[in-house]
C-alpha cells in the first residue's frame, strides 16, 4: 500500500509541513525520513540538523502534540539518512528509500547499534539530544559534525 505523503510532490510536502497544514495522519515514519532527506538534499547536514528539529517542534506544537517530539530520535534520524545518502546514487527520496529499506523497516535496530539503552523509552533522550554511547555517527568528511 502506498503511503499517503507520496501523493504530494516534494515542494508541496515541504510547504505543507512548514506551514503546519500537512495532514497528521499522513506524517508516517517514512514521511519523517522524507523530511530529513529533502532538508539534507537542499541544505546539507549542518543546516538540516537545525531545521528538522525546529520544524518538527513547530509542527507538533501546532497540533498540540508536543509530547510526540523526541529530540534524540530526530537528530539520529537526520544522521542516519545522511549516512545512507552518502552511500547511494539515488536521484530522489523514493529511489533512496527503496535502496535502503532498513531505514524504514529496521530503524530501531539501526539505532540500537549506536545506543546501549532503549532510546525510545528514555525520557532524557526525548527531552534533549543525547549523542550515541556505543558507535558515534560517522561521516565521510571529518570536518562535518
Do residues 42 and 72 make contact, with C-beta atoms less than 8 angstroms apart? no
Q: Answer yes or no: is 139 within a domain.
A: no
Which residue range forms the structural domain that includes residue 81? 8-127
pLDDT in tens, 97-134: 999 999 999 999 999 999 999 999 999 999 999 999 99
Residue 52 resides in a domain: yes
**How far is Cα 125 from Cα 118, in angstroms, rounded to an integer?**
9
Residue 24 domain-assigned (yes or no) = yes
Whether 109 is covered by a domain: the verdict is yes
120 belongs to a structural domain: yes
Residue 133 forms part of a structural domain: no
Residue 16 lies in a domain: yes
How many separate domains does the chain show? 1
Asked if residue 17 is part of any domain, the answer here is yes
DSSP state of 1: -
Question: Would you say the pTM of this structure is higher than 0.85?
Answer: yes
Examine the pLDDT at 142 and tell me if it is beyond 50.
Answer: no
Amino acid at each position: 500500500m502506498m503511503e499517503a505523503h507520496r501523493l504530494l510532490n516534494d515542494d508541496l510536502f515541504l510547504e505543507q509541513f512548514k506551514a503546519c497544514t500537512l495532514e497528521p495522519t499522513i506524517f508516517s515514519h517514512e514521511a519523517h525520513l522524507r523530511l530529513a532527506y529533502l532538508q539534507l538534499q537542499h541544505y546539507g547536514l549542518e543546516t538540516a540538523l537545525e531545521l528538522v528539529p525546529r520544524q518538527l517542534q513547530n509542527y507538533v506544537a501546532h497540533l498540540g502534540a508536543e509530547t510526540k517530539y523526541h529530540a534524540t530520535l530526530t537528530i539520529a534520524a537526520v544522521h542516519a539518512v545522511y549516512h545512507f545518502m552518502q552511500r547511494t546514487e539515488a536521484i530522489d527520496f523514493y529511489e533512496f528509500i527503496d535502496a535502503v529499506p532498513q531505514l524504514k523497516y529496521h530503524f530501531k535496530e539501526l539505532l540500537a547499534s549506536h545506543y546501549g539503552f532503549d532510546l525510545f523509552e528514555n525520557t532524557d533522550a526525548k527531552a534533549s539530544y543525547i549523542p550515541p554511547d556505543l558507535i558515534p555517527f560517522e561521516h565521510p568528511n571529518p570536518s562535518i559534525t
